[in-house]
Amino acid sequence: MFYITNPNRSDGTEDEVIGSECDIYTQNTGYEEEFSVVTGADLSSSLALLITQVDTDDATRTYTPYISDSDKENIRDGFNLLVQELNVSEGVFYANYTEYEDLIVYEAIVSSVAEFSSNLTILIETPFVVGDCITFQAIDCFVEYAPENLGDSSLGKQFREATLMFDQYNFTFGEMGFRSDLVAAMSTQLFQGEGTGDYGAQVYGEQTYGGNANERPFRTYVPRNQQRCRHIIISFGHQAARESFMLNGYSVTYNDSTNSRSYKR
């Protein structure tokens, strides 16, 4: 926050402070309104415009312009240089502006990509600003079990529920799939795990850093068009970078009745 000193007053009273958004010999009090940044803003351009305005308003010195660069280290260094020059300027009221030393790097899971518009949808809203980013390409993992026929592949059955059992549930999301001898097309069910506990990878306050992973299984209903069959095939897919999973196996719940007439003539 900046404070403005009015050069028209020479009695040294506190009335010289005429605003709460500037600390420069000028009547300009619109710094906070004009230069505040929000999520998704171009931070490098905002910094360049801010320095240009400060240089215009402070007639006692010249400020080093910032060449728009989206590299986060360069943005930090450009801001710190502005702070250093403000702290030694004779045209400011305060000389104790604080420099930034650390950088907070956020991670986000991309849940979908619109290829034609190049728009990305992330799993959890994250306070990104425009700039460079590092993209980690996920390794598509797919596990498919052998057909489950309950010991007799000639009889018709009804599978009602299925469960995937994990050693740990510390991944972001996965996909459970079903297909059968009657319906070859795969039906899938997307579900979320407990997450990895990375900073920025979960809703703030809803999870401890490092994750709350446990051995909780995932259970769901078998899709109706896949329930009645002679055998069912269960699969699991995972497509998130920098994550791992440990899948112990699966179980099925079925009606305790079979039918030797699996197909109608």
Q: How confident is the model at residue 13 (pLDDT cuts 50, 70, 90)?
A: very low
Q: Give the pLDDT confidence score for residue 18 in this predicted structure.
A: 36
How does pLDDT run across 139-159, given as a tens digit for each residue? 899 999 999 999 888 888 899
Record the tokens describing residue 264, joined without a space: 């109608």
pLDDT given for residue 145 in this prediction? 96
DSSP E strand stretches across the chain: 4-5, 17-19, 110-114, 119-122, 141-144, 157-168, 173-180, 187-192, 218-221, 228-229, 232-238, 246-254
Average pLDDT over residues 234-252: 91
Please give the pLDDT value at position 161.
Answer: 95
Task: Express each pLDDT in 41-57 by its tens digit.
Answer: 788 888 898 899 888 88
CB 212 within 8 A of CB 194: yes
Which of 7-21, 53-67, 175-189 is predicted with the least confidence, judged by mean pLDDT?
7-21
Is pLDDT at 15 greater than 50 in this prediction? no
Distance between CA atoms of 3 and 83, rounded to whole angstroms?
Answer: 14
First to last CA, the chain: 81
Q: Is the pLDDT of residue 93 over 50?
A: yes
CATH of domain 141-254: 2.60.120
Is the model more confident about 105 or about 56?
56
Instruction: For CATH 2.60.120, list the domain ranges present in the chain.
Output: 141-254
Mean per-residue pLDDT, 196-214: 60
